[in-house]
Amino acid sequence: MTGKHKNVGVLLSGRGSNMMALVEASRAPDCPYEVVLVASDKPDAPGLTWAKDQSIACWSLSPKGIGKPAYEAALDAALRGANVETIALAGYMRLLSDDFVARWSGRIINIHPSLLPKYKGLDTHARAIAAKDAVAGCSVHVVTEELDGGEVLGQAEVPILPGDTAETLATRVLAAEHRLYPQILAAFAAR
């Protein structure tokens, strides 16, 4: 699309609930972005099935066997072929190479289930509980060459309750992710 709309490509590896939240929010008449491609490194990712059912263009390729450079070249071509302007990572479980990030510099964002800069990487909820933190949450940030390290664009806090397990906390943080990510992507797309 042209004008105030930004074309967004969503990258995922799994169930895709954040992608669904982004797509659903994009249907509001004043939303400044449109999801034009859902791409995955896992051809059997459940999120792809949902996106196909919504008639959104999908692309998938497993890097296994072809190697990262060839996989990323194909991914880059698919994104450019769909006129993607902004990439939103949503449960994309593979590290993008420095080269790929440089080619899309400042145009890739990610949602991470912690209050960055705390708990970069995996097992964020278990680590927050083990540290006896009072609050957990999620962050949307710009993707740079440093893992979970780019500018934080927005955060939502979620209290940690007595008796919380990593699973119960993850469920409440995920609900906050679904509210936060569309808001931040819309603001990012409009800037």
Residues contacting 188, CB < 8 A, separation 6+: 86, 109, 153
Instruction: List, edge to edge, every strand of the sheet that includes 58-60.
Output: 58-60, 33-40, 6-12, 86-89, 108-112, 135-142, 152-159
Q: Does 16 bind ligand GRF (CB under 6 A)?
A: yes
Chain centroid to CA 143: 10
What distance in Å separates the CA atoms of residue 144 and residue 16, rounded to the nearest whole number? 22
- To the nearest 10 degrees (0 to 180), the angle between helices 17-26 and 46-53 is 20
Q: Applying CB under 6 A, does 90 fall inside the site for ligand GRF?
A: yes
Q: Is 150 in the site for ligand GRF (CB under 6 A)?
A: no
Whose CB is nearest to ligand GRF? Answer: 91
CB of 78 to ligand GRF, least distance (A): 19
Dihedral sign computed on CA atoms, order 70, 105, 13, 127 = positive
Region 159-178 residues binding ligand GRF, contact defined as CB under 6 A: 174, 177
Residue closer to ligand GRF (CB basis): 43 or 69: 43
Active site residue 125: no
**114 scored as a contact of ligand GRF (CB under 6 A):** no
Closer residue to ligand GRF, CB minimum distance, 73 or 149 = 149
Catalytically annotated residue among 5, 112, 125, 178: 112
Q: So which residues are the catalytic ones?
A: 112
Applying CB under 6 A, which residues contact ligand GRF? 12, 14-18, 90-91, 111-113, 138, 174, 177
